[in-house]
Amino acid sequence: MPNDSTIVNINSKGVDQNSFDAIVIGSGMTGGWAAKELCDHGLKTLVLERGRDVKHIKDYPTTNMNPWDFPHRGRMPIAVEKENPIVSRCYAYGESSQHFFVKDKEHPYIQEKPFDWIRGYQVGGKSLLWARATQRWSRFDFDGAVRDGIADWPIRYEDIAPWYSHVEWFAGISGNKDGLETLPDGEFLPPWELNCVEKDMQKKINDSYQDRHVIIGRCAHLTEPKAIHLQQGRGKCQARIVCERGCPYGGYFTSVSSTLPWAEKSGNLTLRPHSVVHSIIYDDKKGKAVGVRVIDALSKKTTDYFARIIFVNAACLNSNLILLNSTSNRFPNGLGNDNGLLGKYVAFHNYRGTVTASVDGYLDKYYYGQKPTGATIPNFRNVRQHEMDFLRGYMIHFSASRWNGDSQEQIGGRYKDALAEPGGWGVWMMMQGETIPKETNHVRLSKDQKDEWGIPQLITSVGYDDNDEKVLKDFFEQGSEMLEKAGCKNIATHDSKQAPGLDIHEMGGVRMGKDPKTSLLNKWNQLHHCSNVFVTDGACMASTSTQNPSLTFMAITARAANYAVEELKKNNL
């Protein structure tokens, strides 16, 4: 049924008044980048955000609070956790950051299979909450996916490399030039330093294996701000590790502290919060999208906005939802969905496995501050050829730190005295496994359940498979072996059995590809059958690789936005 059949309260206020050169749906990681690039090139750009406005510094209410300033010392009350079982599982959710998270009851969805959908509905989206790890994909990530028959990527590393540099220079990425083929170097600020235990582990592991390399993690933190960062009003990271509260220094990259204010300075940005996108409006006669239908989150009034190009950056699953709900006579099953694959091939990262251990000695050593990254081991499985009994591989992150004071008691004077002294050293290691996109892993719209704005609720049907179990098993074996070679003791493996989604790295559903029969987007992130609509957030990904995805999302967005500008100049859109 066409998307305008159920809307009766259209408050357009005239097409001219509500017309822009470009509309960007979403103000988070990729929406901010789309806005920056489009505004930089002179396009009058409307950014739609379904949540409230958040201003840098002004709207970080807990950023400078002490632990004792919180009624529950940072923990959420049990009653609140019971009301919000999904978001309460997120590592960053707590008393100091709850205002940046969507509560379970407020925005329901339907879990056909268990899926923890973590969301941040406000200007800045989840860029205020991300873990800030940033690694480039290598040629093996694009080529290997094609080799293994997983994804027919329409681009390769060479296509995206200059856009990685473009994003890294502006956002500010700390890292070391490691010279690894499996994890290409970038435009780096000075790296953080591994602590004494991590350095010794690095040497022992690197000496024990030819195919494994322990490096300092790369992250979006300003270790030494450059002129471009000072122009953004950002300052040096203070290593406080309370990033999920919002950083008043602008020490880590968010769209609120960086790309959106930059776009605003151009004079070309219009930002509209409290704007729930119902659908994209397709004109059958013109053969293209002409605008976006918006429901005001507070008043529930509906308004249409118009533009020559539309960027969909609502975050992966919401981008799928919007496109599925954008029906017309031409596209009765969702915008651009001629092949019926919209919402399918959703993938994520397998975070289930961790390995812990203790480390003897080093009791005369400590560290200053809380660096925002630890050690990283790039993927070493199935890199150049398929050689394991599973497809693809996994990245490893680990860190060493000193426990809180050693005490057998959990109450009393001895316990409190022990807390004032550091205990021994321990190591925490985690996997970041690539999952294989499958048609059966999908999202779709409910036919009978809607949210409070009359939009169908999303049904998630995404799960693990046998390949994921094999990857997990190999990580346990190899992680334990590496820790043993590094001299660690009391090595133990842990399977969290967490549902997909808690990794907050969901990807796919609107995947890129060469063939319109098997994909939704072309190499420039345009819908094959509606070329003035671009999808550049996680929904566009054809596979996941093993790296943290945000840097790739940003680079893909900058690339697509600049292409869109050139096409507009040529009157091709």
Q: Which two three-digit tokens encode residue 303?
A: 């308004």
Q: For residues 430 and 549, what is the distance between their CA atoms, to the nearest angstrom?
A: 17
Q: How far is CA 206 from the centre of its chain?
A: 30
CB of 203 closer than 8 Å to CB of 196:
no
Q: CA angle, corner 337, sides to 335 and 341, nearest 5?
A: 135
| DSSP codes, 497-542 | -PPTTTTS--EEES-B-S-TTT-SB-TTSEETTEEEEEE-SGGG-S
Q: How many CB atoms lie within 10 A of CB 298?
A: 10
What mean pLDDT do residues 542-550 have? 98
Q: CA angle, corner 281, sides to 276 and 287, nearest 5?
A: 155
Instruction: Check whether 433 has a pLDDT greater than 60.
Output: yes
Which pLDDT belongs to residue 255? Answer: 98
pLDDT one-digit tens code per residue, 265-277: 999 999 999 999 9
Q: Which two three-digit tokens encode residue 227?
A: 């002129």
Which pLDDT belongs to residue 2? Answer: 42
Residues paired with residue 399 on neighbouring β-strands, in sequence order: 428
Q: Which two three-digit tokens encode residue 70?
A: 């919180």
pLDDT band at 6 (very low <50, low <70, confident <90, very high): very low
**Residue 468, φ and ψ in degrees, nearest 5:** -65, -40
Which pLDDT belongs to residue 368? Answer: 82
Instruction: Check whether 367 has a pLDDT greater than 90.
Output: no
Q: For residues 145 and 183, what is the distance between their CA atoms, to the nearest angstrom?
A: 16
**Strand pairing category for 288-296 and 275-283:** antiparallel
Instruction: Check whether 8 has a pLDDT greater than 80.
Output: no
Q: For residues 306 and 27, what is the distance between their CA atoms, to the nearest angstrom?
A: 18
Q: 390 in helix, strand or coil?
A: coil
What is the end-to-end Cα distance of the chain in Å, rounded?
A: 26
H helices present in 137-286, as ranges: 139-147, 157-171, 196-208, 227-231, 260-265
Which pLDDT belongs to residue 434? Answer: 98
What mean pLDDT do residues 32-58 have? 98
Phi-psi region of 336 (alpha: psi -120 to 50; beta: other; left: phi over 0): left
**Residue 442, φ and ψ in degrees, nearest 5:** -150, 170
What mean pLDDT do residues 130-153 have? 96
Instruction: Check whether 1 has a pLDDT greater than 80.
Output: no
Which pLDDT belongs to residue 9? Answer: 43
Q: For residues 34 and 38, what is the distance between their CA atoms, to the nearest angstrom?
A: 6
Q: CA angle, corner 191, sides to 187 and 193, nearest 5?
A: 165
CB of 27 closer than 8 Å to CB of 35:
yes
Kindly report the average pLDDT of the chain as a whole number.
95
What mean pLDDT do residues 421-431 have? 94
Residues in contact with 63: Cβ distance below 8 Å, sequence separation at least 6, in sequence order? 57, 242, 245, 246, 247, 248
Q: For residues 558 and 564, what is the distance between their CA atoms, to the nearest angstrom?
A: 10
Longest Cα–Cα distance of the chain, Å, equals 78
pLDDT one-digit tens code per residue, 83-138: 999 999 999 999 999 999 999 999 999 999 999 999 999 999 999 999 999 999 99
Which pLDDT belongs to residue 403? Answer: 83
Please report, for residues 106, 187, 351, 430, the alpha-carbon distance to residue 493 in angstroms, rounded to integers and kept in the order given: 36, 36, 13, 10
Q: Which two three-digit tokens encode residue 191?
A: 């790296």
Amino acid type, 322: I
Amino acid type, 464: Y
The pTM of the whole model exceeds 0.85: yes
Q: For residues 223 and 188, what is the distance between their CA atoms, to the nearest angstrom?
A: 10
pLDDT band at 407 (very low <50, low <70, confident <90, very high): low
Amino acid type, 468: D
Which residue from 24, 17, 13, 15 is spatially nearest to 558, judged by alpha carbons? 24
What mean pLDDT do residues 484-506 have? 98
What mean pLDDT do residues 223-235 have? 98
CB of 46 closer than 8 Å to CB of 305:
yes
Q: 169 in helix, strand or coil?
A: helix
Whole-number percent of the chain with pLDDT over 90:
92
Q: CA angle, corner 504, sides to 385 and 474, nearest 5?
A: 35
Which residue from 98, 93, 96, 100 is spatially nearest to 69, judged by alpha carbons? 96
What mean pLDDT do residues 456-480 have? 98
Q: Among 106-115, 417-426, 454-463, 552-561, which is the least confidently predicted range? A: 417-426
Which residue from 295, 286, 297 is spatially nearest to 329, judged by alpha carbons? 286
**Strand pairing category for 288-296 and 442-450:** unpaired
Instruction: Check whether 66 has a pLDDT greater than 70.
Output: yes
| DSSP codes, 246-257 | --TT--B--III
pLDDT band at 142 (very low <50, low <70, confident <90, very high): very high
